[in-house]
Chains A and B, each alone.
Chain A
Amino acid sequence: MTTIAPPAHGPGRVRSADELRALAEEAAVRFADATADEVLAWAAETFGSHLVVACSMAADTVVPHLTARHLPGVDVLFLQTGYHFPETIGTRDALAHAVDVRIVEALPALTVAEQDAEYGPRLHERDPQSCCAMRKVEPINRELASYEAWVTGVRREDNALRAGTGIVEWDAAHQMVKINPVAAWSTDEVMAYAATHGVPVNLLLDEGYPSIGCAPCTRPVAPGEDPRSGRWAGFAKTECGLHTDQQDEGTPVTAIQTAPPPARTLSHLQALESESIHIFREIVSELERPVLLFSGGKDSIVMLHLAAKAFWPAPVPFPVLHVDTGHNFPEVIAYRDATVERLKLRLVVAKVQDYIDDGRLLERADGTRNPLQTQPLLDAIAEGRFDAVFGGGRRDEEKARAKERVVSLRDEFGAWDPRNQRPELWNLYNPRHRPGEHVRVFPLSNWTELDVWRYIAAEDIPLPSLYYAHERDVFRRDGMWLAVGDVSRPRDGERVERRLVRYRTVGDMSCTGAVESDARTVEDVIQEVALTRITERGATRADDRLTEAAMEDRKKEGYF
């Protein structure tokens, strides 16, 4: 069957690609912090009828309204995929009445009926990529080729992928200027603008659909989820390809054709979650008195979240233990206490300060207390007669940890013998031990720092605020930023500065360093971690940096 694509609506291009690129690059700088009105005034003057607004008829209807103030009658491009919700079509019609614009529809080469006849019904269920390619990407590419610049409703808040969106950009894929006037707007600002100016917005927005596409491939998302996670749910896809760079920056595609993932495939995060839940259930079933080490740090928070999921709707069936160095961040202790209250947990606290007060431990010359935690920990394990201790250790943290088992046997002295570990086979975890021994269990063994953050985002887990960028008085020591506090005072020659920082790990406040960061949200942090070039411990734990074998030595002595 030969099909002829419908002609495009634009007037065609006058400027060359090089001219457009130069315009885009100059404007990107000039309008980096511009308001929507400033950039749209420029766009209307510069491009006139060569400008088009793309609109999905969701909340981005404010963009045609904003543009029409500077360019009445502007073309508004709507992708008529044939699969829209009735509410979306209704929004299109309402917009056409309410705002001075010309709606132009980008039509696919094939109607839905023709596509069904050629590729079989419901192609979107089997191969959403191909369906999008035919019904969205090709028509819009065809239309955009007839204009010089397009205006979109892309916002940095949409998802982490869009966090770097500029107000004006060179769109290399379409070889044209791309203007994102509301890139910096929040959802609240968009809705407030629509309400003030009487701009119709899609009714589905009130029903849990923050991002709206074709009806078969869009579902509502839970509060806190990535708004676009409701798109192509069940597929590894959140972008149809309109707003992403067409060039794949990953590894080259091999000759082998990838089959689309089978419908019954877990993502790697789901697989890790299932594995961790399995571990919790095994240990609780096989041993008498487990306990979970809970410091208020992010790994222990994620671990506790998984434990709560493993036994729901029953409560977490074990107490939590905090080895308190006395050198705490107040936010972390507040978080710890609130969590214990919320989950109705029993909290056991082993205090390093008590040991120092009665002389069982000596304060170190350097003041750091992380290494002093071992004795209080072992005593608390013995006093509580705990036979399994859940820890948040991950194998990606450090080289010695890479050889740790998920279930790791400790002798009467809490010591780890790396040369005599039990082989760990299949998913058959064996926590049996002799009286006096116990096992340390690491349900997050196979998680990386990035996985932990992605899970925090996916599950919307609250963290102590110091994990996100905030201003704090800090001073530089051993190449790290240390916070000014009761236990960490600058020495002579160490200058206190106010800096925008966040913490990647939390421990003894006197030796846990902050990193300079402007990552204020979980998406920012994911982006940052993905680009980070230094390990968590290398960046922020002075005590691990002493010798090459620092961690191994401490583990052998019974430390976590």
Chain B
Amino acid sequence: MTATASPASPELLDPRSTTLLRIATAGSVDDGKSTLVGRLLYDSKAVLADQLEAVERVSLAKGLGHVDLALLTDGLRAEREQGITIDVAYRYFATARRTFILADCPGHVQYTRNTVTGSSTADALVLLVDARKGVLEQTRRHLAVGRLLRVPHIIVAVNKIDLVDYSEARFREIAADVQRLADDLGAESIEVLPVSALVGDNIVERSERLAWYDGPSLLELLEELPADDVTEHPFRFPVQVTLRPQEAAVDPRYVEYRGYAGQVASGSVRVGDPVVVLPSGRRTHVVGIDTPGGELDEAFAPQSVTLRLADDIDVARGELIASADAAPEPTQDLDGMVAWLAERPLRVGQRVLVKHTTATTQAVVREIDGRLDLDTLRPEAVDALELNDLGRVRLRLAAPIMAEPYAQSRRTGSFLLIDPQSGANLAAGMTRGDQAFSDRAAVPVGPAPDWSI
């Protein structure tokens, strides 16, 4: 027989057929997250024979009766020896319809740092709950972080459903708890589904043992989630680098070339569109959208392109090219929620660097309004932010930036605080919606939880 069908799905061979979805996973210790990730990789056939053999060998050496799929993802020696996961790890798998980048976030120590890191780029957060234990404090914390970071989709996988005899009643109970918590947090898109990572129920294939469940399997759900469409927002283009090749141009035709290279942060732009360059406020319009493959009529987020502008104006790295009729206000006052990621606490008066899009500027900490108690989800007044605290801070900047509310745009609403000496990342920041800011006094922390962004 010569005419056998190819076992590779046809879409795999078509580079234009699949879209990208970034996922983060989080969970508590022992809820089987590594097993779940191993199962997703294994069942979607992203695990290759030699990797599996290594895992089988180690499972046998440890005296386990089954192949421990968690070993697929525990990459570092310390982790393998201690049986824990200590840092965010990135995994890759694909189906016929989507390519996935999975940020596997460890749940115990440094959970805030890890979950914030993974959630910052995620289109979907998959949170694990042990069916025997139900919703724990850790679940609340992870859900709060996912909500704070505005991950567009949150999925709660109720794992180890086999250990509660596939009980529908138990699942419904947990799902109701999750829903209450989601309502508290104002989380909109939340999905709850039963799975058993160890056995493989409802991860890739739906399971007969879960006949009462008529929703999609985890992978089906991930394949179907709509991608966050940032092309609907107003056009924002932080300039990364000015391209002026002069005599060094790859072709003599481009000796006079001047273009502004960057990645579209949100929205789209067409040749001829009026734009404003910020913070200077100069107005001009786009005369060309260039890529090495040829000129485009339109560019949209998140394409990397080079723009040419009509007037002979100088635009430098850190400036923003924005839609002329919906431009942000430059500001030197930044009010945001930060996740503090450094050992040394943050105090009022401290000097830091702020990196926002492609701009980096000096700043001083004016106020610390308080930290968010993740257990009660209430703010509390504090003098300093400690490692893994989430708090609200106000900064005065040396130069204006074009920060927008994070809730509207993750790309132009996020910022880093950097240690000017060591260069280390101190905090992940998200700009709050209301920029009203009294120069004098700290806003007292009221009884109503106002930690949202």
List the interface of chain A (C-beta within 8 A of B). 24-25, 28-29, 32, 159-161, 163-170, 226, 229, 235-239, 244-245, 248-252, 254-256, 258-259, 261-262, 264-275, 277-278, 281-282, 284-286, 308-315, 395-396, 398-403, 418-419, 421-428, 430, 432-434, 445-446, 448, 450-451, 454-455, 457-458, 523, 526-527, 530-535, 538-539, 548-549, 552
Contacts and interface: CB of A to CB of B under 8 A. Distances in A.
Contact of A535 (B48, B75, B421): B48
A267 B16 contact: yes
A259 B226 contact: yes
A430 to B, nearest CB: 6
B90 A402 contact: yes
Interface of B: 1-20, 48-51, 54, 58, 73-78, 80, 86-92, 94-99, 101, 113-114, 116-117, 120-121, 204-206, 214-217, 219-221, 223-224, 226-227, 229, 231, 240-241, 243-245, 248-251, 254, 257, 261-263, 268, 291-292, 300, 302-304, 306, 317, 341, 355, 358, 360, 410-411, 414-416, 418, 421-425, 428
Most chain A CB inside 10 Å of its own CB: which residue of B6, B116, B217:
B6
A251 B411 contact: no
A448 B121 CA distance: 18
Contacts of A458: 15
Given A250-B95, A267-B16, A167 B428 contact: no
B407 to A, nearest CB: 15
A249 B9 contact: yes
Given A229-B16, A254-B216, A281 B241 contact: yes
Contacts of A269: 15-16
Given A312-B250, A527-B8, A418 B226 contact: no
Contact of A314 (B7, B221, B250): B250
Contacts of A265: 19, 227
Nearest to B243: A314
Contact of B6 (A24, A164, A534): A164
A434 B423 contact: yes
Nearest to A171: B3
Given A169-B2, A250-B97, A430-B418, 7 more contacts: A163-B6, A164-B4, A164-B6, A236-B17, A281-B304, A285-B358, A454-B15
B17 A264 contact: no
A354 to B, nearest CB: 32
Contacts of B303: 266, 270, 274
Given A282-B358, A314-B245, A426-B410, A28 B89 contact: no
Contacts of A425: 116-117, 120-121, 414, 416, 425, 428
A284 to B, nearest CB: 7
20 contacts: A159-B13, A251-B223, A254-B224, A262-B229, A264-B229, A264-B300, A266-B19, A268-B99, A271-B19, A281-B241, A311-B241, A313-B250, A315-B250, A399-B74, A399-B89, A402-B91, A423-B117, A427-B263, A428-B415, A552-B77
B204 A446 contact: no
Given A310-B304, A313-B243, A423-B117, A534 B87 contact: no
Contact of B10 (A168, A244, A450): A244
A234 to B, nearest CB: 8
Contacts of B94: 448, 450
